[in-house]
Amino acid sequence: MAPEGPAGEERETLRTLLDSLRLRLALSERPERYFRYGKDEVGGDTERHPSFETPKAEGETLEEIAAEAARCSLCPLHATRTSVVFGEGNPRARLVFVGEAPGADEDRQGRPFVGRAGQLLTRIIEAMKLKREDVYICNILKCRPPGNRDPRGEEIAACEPYLMRQLAAIGPEVICALGTFAARTLLKTEAPITVLRGRFHSYQGVPLMPTYHPAYLLRNPEAKKQVWEDVRKIMEVLKDKKGVRM
């Protein structure tokens, strides 16, 4: 059992510091493993990053990354969170949904997309003739910004390596970025979601479809038609690839 009191706190601080140093060392030694490169559009050449081809080659599992994130204090959000919402779903999912950040319900339950917007995402997934357990769902930030404010640049910069490692471990065939922050973070662009959505982009050679966030759909139900157009394109790519993992 871990010691409690000052000794336990000291140990926890040292462990967090060690995690932070390990992460920074990994980023400096193997940047290609964490940082995107490649084409802007899905075209004829969609060469995949080796870490996507052999996601387990490095021996890093989602559980290991999640355990690290569970102790994370790399950004100020660790001080106000109830839970670290790492993500959930099929660890070998062909399709990964990436949202923005946990909300109040997610923070309480420690699970992504469980509030009203999450229920709408579940209905979208089911309309694709899939189940939540078939896909993987996560966010750019693993901890809730207080009051559901927008994520800040330094928080995204601190948290993004977890997402990169998550995606490398899963090795999806298609990624769906939900909303502005997810699309902009993954594609390294400032373009608005209205411009980005509706067509595939490339994230390390993996087709990435940006679409509206379900929370936006709750406020603007007329946009559901466009989201349905986007997810139909995802379904077509998955059908063409005829993968067996989902």
User: Which of 51, 73, 139, 204 forms a contact with ligand SF4 (CB under 6 A)?
Assistant: 73
- Is 85 a residue that touches ligand SF4 (CB under 6 A)? no
Q: How far apart are CA 165 and CA 171, in angstroms?
A: 10
Interaction pattern, residues 87-116, with ligand SF4; x per rule: CB under 6 A: ------------------------------
**Is 158 among the residues that bind ligand SF4 (CB under 6 A)?**
yes
CA torsion, ordered 231, 233, 236, 238, to nearest 10 deg: -60
Binding-site size for ligand SF4 (CB under 6 A) equals 14
- For 96-125, b/e burial (b = at least 16 CB within 10 A) is bbbbbbbbebbbeebbbbbbebbebbbebb
- Helices marked H in the chain: 5-29, 31-34, 50-53, 62-70, 104-109, 116-127, 153-170, 180-187, 193-196, 214-219, 224-241
Q: Which stretch binds ligand SF4 (CB under 6 A): 41-49, 75-83, 110-118, 195-203?
A: 75-83
User: Minimum Å distance from CB 116 to ligand SF4?
Assistant: 22
Residue 159, CA distances (Å) to 103, 129, 207 in order? 16, 32, 22
Taking the least distance from each CB to ligand SF4, the nearer of 78 and 111 is 78
CB of 83 to ligand SF4, least distance (A): 10
72 binds ligand SF4 (CB under 6 A): yes
Which residue among 69, 174, 176, 178 contacts ligand SF4 (CB under 6 A)? 69
Residues in contact with ligand SF4 by the rule CB under 6 A: 69, 72-75, 77-78, 84, 141-143, 155, 158-159
